[in-house]
């Protein structure tokens, strides 16, 4: 963990996560009149200690934090926003779709439970698995407390001044509905959230809260961003990205292969059955099982939109290949 300077006035702060993903990268950007933090971490004691250690190392007093910007509202990015706000009084900015997601998932989660169980049921998940998956949501929800008292929304296209540069906000959907990336054309830096990551493929899942076809929107967004001139991309997990078009090409290839294998194994199967064929059995924790199923659904529903699959729906969706 710790703090690494990644560019002039920009520091990567690596915070621990209590699951296999291991860590999340947040960023602290310095200006003459204070600091901007990009992303907040998941709230648990080790992450509090890590923020405190990072602030000491950067000689940053919490009251010097001018604002927080969240690339998206997944718990590992949103979870400590309220804790940081409590000490700094800094406003928290995020895209409107992400604010909606945070309110549904973290701030009023009871509303989601019924819709969510139905979503997994129609994917063919057994009832005991559904119950265990719901328990995971509760567990994560607790690690987003306390919540920020105020959230402010920002839109794609606006320019933000931070770390001595101007950054343009770019909408990059797929991993989450409203994820925003920030691009500094002056030195071709990109804060790329979880849109493009090294070593691991960003999670693209169809969740109860997702708009239709997240994979289609993700792939379209990768196409649109492949030509962006990026010298260094700073992601939410793992290492910085130096070969932007090269990494995008690998991710495109990965999804093309996944779509092919899933199309082949989807004949007469539910999403849950396709997931069991696509992911190594027994290796998935409860937490990972939900992601694997959401990811399988995103691919299958994309194949339906592409007219390679159709389905019978008698409460549980059974997919078939189209002739
Ligand atoms: Zn994420």
pLDDT per residue as tens digits for the range 45-56: 999 999 999 999
Query: 163 C-alpha vs ligand 1 centroid, how far in Å?
Result: 23
Region 175-203: what's the mean pLDDT? Answer: 97
| Ligand 1 center to 314 CA (angstroms) | 32
**For residue 242, how far is its CA from the centre of ligand 1 (angstroms)?**
21
Q: How many residues are recorded in the chain?
A: 323
Residue 258 has pLDDT above 90, yes or no: yes
**Exposed, middle or buried: residue 318 (CB in 10 Å: 0-12, 13-18, 19+)?**
middle
**Would you state the pLDDT for residue 298?**
98
Q: How many independent structural domains does the chain possess?
A: 1
**What does the pLDDT read at residue 139?**
86
Domain that holds residue 38: 2-263
Task: Give 297's Cβ-side CA count (13 Å radius).
Answer: 25
Residue 192: inside a domain: yes
In a domain, 103, yes or no: yes
Position 150 confidence tier, pLDDT thresholds 50, 70, 90: confident
**Residue 180, strand partner residues:** 171
Residue (of 236, 225, 231) closest to 192 by Cα position: 236
Instruction: Please tell me the distance between residue 194's alpha carbon and the centre of ligand 1 in angstroms.
Output: 5
What letter would DSSP give residue 107?
I
Q: Answer whether residue 217 is part of any domain.
A: yes
Kindly give the distance from the C-alpha atom of residue 204 to the centroid of ligand 1, in angstroms, as a whole number.
Answer: 9
pLDDT of residue 198: 95
Interval between CA 310 and ligand 1 midpoint (Å): 29
CATH number at residue 250: 3.60.15.10
Distance 24 CA to ligand 1 centre (A): 9
pLDDT of residue 111: 63
237 CA to centre of ligand 1 in angstroms: 9
In a domain, 272, yes or no: no
292 CA → ligand 1 middle, Å: 14
* Predicted local confidence at residue 19, as pLDDT: 86
Does some domain include residue 174?
yes
* Nearest Cα to Cα of residue 191 among 20, 36, 16: 36
* Mean pLDDT of all residues belonging to the chain: 94
Interval between CA 161 and ligand 1 midpoint (Å): 24
In a domain, 307, yes or no: no
| Rounded distance from Cα 46 to ligand 1 centre (Å) | 20
CA of 32 to the centre of ligand 1 (A): 30
CA distance 198 to 227: 18
Distance 154 CA to ligand 1 centre (A): 18
Query: In this structure, is residue 285 part of a structural domain?
Result: no
At residue 110 the predicted structure's pLDDT band, cuts being 50, 70 and 90, is low
Q: Domain for residue 286, yes or no?
A: no
| pLDDT tens figures, 13-25 | 999 999 888 999 9
């Amino acid at each position: 963990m710790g703090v690494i300077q990644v560019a002039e006035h920009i520091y990567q702060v690596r915070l621990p996560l209590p699951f296999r993903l291991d860590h999340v990268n947040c960023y602290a950007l310095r200006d003459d009149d204070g600091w901007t933090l990009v992303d907040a971490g998941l709230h648990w004691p080790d992450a509090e200690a890590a923020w405190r250690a990072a602030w000491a190392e950067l000689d940053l007093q919490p009251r010097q934090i001018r604002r927080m910007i969240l690339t998206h509202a997944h718990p590992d990015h949103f979870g400590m926003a309220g804790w940081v706000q409590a000490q700094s009084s800094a406003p928290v900015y995020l895209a409107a779709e992400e604010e909606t997601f945070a309110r549904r998932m973290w701030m009023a989660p009871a509303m989601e439970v019924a819709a969510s169980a139905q979503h997994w049921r129609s994917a063919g998940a057994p009832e005991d698995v559904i119950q265990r998956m719901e328990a995971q949501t509760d567990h994560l929800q607790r690690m987003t407390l306390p919540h920020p008292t105020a959230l402010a929304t920002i839109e794609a296209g606006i320019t933000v001044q931070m770390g001595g540069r101007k950054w343009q906000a770019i909408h990059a959907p797929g991993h989450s509905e409203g994820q925003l990336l920030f691009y500094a054309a002056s030195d071709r830096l990109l804060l790329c959230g979880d849109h493009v990551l090294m070593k691991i493929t960003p999670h693209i899942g169809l969740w109860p809260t997702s708009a239709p076809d997240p994979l289609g929107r993700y792939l379209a967004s990768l196409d649109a961003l492949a030509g962006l001139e990026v010298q260094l991309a700073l992601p939410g997990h793992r290492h910085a990205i130096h070969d932007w078009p090269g990494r995008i090409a690998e991710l495109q290839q990965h999804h093309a292969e996944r779509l092919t294998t899933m199309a082949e194994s989807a004949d007469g199967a539910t999403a849950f059955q396709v997931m069991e064929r696509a992911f190594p059995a027994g290796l998935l924790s409860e937490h990972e099982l939900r992601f694997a199923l959401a990811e399988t659904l995103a691919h299958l529903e994309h194949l339906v939109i592409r007219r390679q699959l159709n389905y019978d729906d008698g409460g549980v969706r059974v997919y078939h290949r189209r002739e």
